[in-house]
Amino acid sequence: MTFATRRALLGGLAAAPLLARYGAAQAQSTWPDRPIRLVVPFGAGTTTDALGRILGDALAKDVGQPVVVENRAGAGGNVGAQAVAQAAGDGYTLLLGTNGTHGINSSLFPNLGFDPVKDFTPIAPFVTTPSVLGVPVALKANSLAELIALTKEKPLSFASAGNGTTGHLSQALFNMRAGLETQHVPYRNASQAITDLIAGRVDGMFYHPLGLKPHLEAGTLKALAVTSAKRIAILPDVPTMQEAGVADFVVEGRWSLYGPAKMPADIVARLSRATNALLADPAALRTLRAQGVEPVGGSPEQLAAMTRDEIAKWRPVIAAANIRPD
C-alpha cells in the first residue's frame, strides 16, 4: 500500500464519524418527510380517541405532514402502548398515553410488556379530567359527610366501568382515606352502570363529569364531590373531596403525549411546543372543554415527573385493595 493510499484510507476512517453525525443531523433536519402515526390505545368513539384526533390535527398543522390516528385497543391501553414502546424513536410514531398506561397499569398487570418510564420519551402533558361522585336522588345522603356516616352504618355498593379503572381506584382510595368498607360492582360498560345507579341498584359511582352531567341536570342523580384539586367549571357548586372532608384525595384522568425511547431532542421540543400552543388557543380550549377536560401542558421534564409520581401513587392503593385486572 503506498503512502498516499494509506493516508487517504486513514483520512476516510477519521471522517466517517463526522459523516455519520452529518447524516443523522441531515435526517433530523428534514423531519418530518412522511406522515406521523399517533397511536390511541383505546377504541374509536372513546374520549381518548376524540382527544387524539384533536391533538393529531394540531400537530399536523404545525409539522406540515398528516398525523394518522391509529386505534390499538386492548388490556387497558397496554396493547397500544407496547406497540409504541417497540417502535423506532425517530419521531414518526407517537402515543397518546393515559394515567393508566403510564401509572396505574404498572401495578395492576403482572406483565405489561414495556417499562412506562424507560421505554418512552415524555413529550408534553396534555389534558386532565376528574371524576364526580354521583349517587341516586333517593339515597339519604346529600353531602359527603352524610354518605360516610351512612356507609359506616351499612356498607354501600359502588359501581365502576371495570376493575382497575379510575372509578374503581377512586373508590378504593375513598375506602382508605375515609376508613370505610364499600362493595365494588364492576360493569362491562359505564352506560349500564349509570342506568343501575339511577335506579338505585347501586349506591354510588365515581365517573367523569361529561358522563354524569346530563343526569345531574335531569335530577336523576346528585353529585356529592369531585376528585380534582379544585372545583371544576362545569360543576362549580360541587365541592372537591378535600373540601368535603377527605384529605389527600386527588384523582384525575390524564392524557399526555409520549414517543418511543431515544427520540431526538429537537423533535421532542418541536412536538412539545406544538402541544402547548394548542392548549393556549382559545378556540381549541372551547373544543377540549366540550369533551369535559381541562388543559395541563408543560415540559417533557414535568411529564417525566408526573409519570413517576402516578406510578408511585397507585402502587399502595392497588396492593391494599388487592385489585386485579378483569
pTM listed for this prediction: 0.84
Question: Is the pLDDT confidence value at 112 over 70?
Answer: yes
**pLDDT 10s digits, 219-250:** 999 999 999 999 998 899 999 999 999 999 99
Res 45: pLDDT:
85
**Cβ atoms within 10 Å of 65's Cβ, excluding its own:** 15
The burial class, CB within 10 Å (0-12 / 13-18 / 19+), for 46 is middle
- 34-128+253-321 and 132-226, same CATH topology: yes
- 161 near 208, Cβ under 8 Å? no
Q: Whose CA is closest to 263, among 102, 88, 85, 36?
A: 88
pLDDT of 78-95, one tens digit each? 999 999 999 999 999 999
- Amino acid at residue number 253: G
The Cβ-side half-sphere exposure at 242, using a 13 Å CA radius, reads 10
Confidence tier at 3 by pLDDT (50, 70, 90) = very low
Looking at residue 81, its pLDDT comes to: 98
**Position with higher pLDDT, 178 vs 7:** 178
Residues forming beta bridges with residue 253, ordered by sequence position: 129
CATH of domain 132-226: 3.40.190.10
Q: How many Cα atoms occupy the beta-carbon half-sphere of 173 within 13 Å?
A: 24
- Band (pLDDT 50/70/90 cuts) for residue 161 is confident
pLDDT single digits (tens) 179-231 = 999 999 999 888 899 999 999 999 999 999 988 999 999 999 999 999 999 99
Strand partners of residue 70 = 39
Average pLDDT over residues 115-142: 97
CA distance 43 to 213: 23
* Residues 85 and 120: beta-carbon distance below 8 Å: yes
The rounded distance, in Å, linking the Cα atoms of 25 and 19 is: 10
| SS3 category, 102 | helix
Domain ranges (residues) in the chain = 34-128+253-321, 132-226
Cα 249 from Cα 263, distance rounded (Å): 35
For residue 8, pLDDT beyond 60: no
Tens-place pLDDT, residues 297-317 = 999 999 999 999 999 999 999
Is residue 62 very low, low, confident or very high in pLDDT (cuts 50, 70, 90)?
very high
Closest CA to 95 of 254, 258, 255: 258
Range in 17-21, 78-82, 160-164, 306-310 with the lowest mean pLDDT? 17-21
Give, to the nearest 10 degrees, the angle between helix 190-199 and helix 209-218. Answer: 30
17 cis-preceded (ω within 30 degrees of 0): no
C-alpha cell at 133: 361522585
The one-letter code for the residue type at 190 is A
CATH 3.60.20.10 applies to domain 34-128+253-321: no
Dihedral angle over CA of 270, 253, 144, 323, nearest 10: -140
pLDDT given at position 274: 98
Please report, to the nearest 10 degrees, the dihedral formed by the alpha carbons of residues 298, 308, 122, 290 taken in order.
-50
Residue 56's CB: how many other CB atoms inside 10 A? 21
* Mean confidence (pLDDT) of the chain: 91
Statement: residue 9 has pLDDT above 80? no
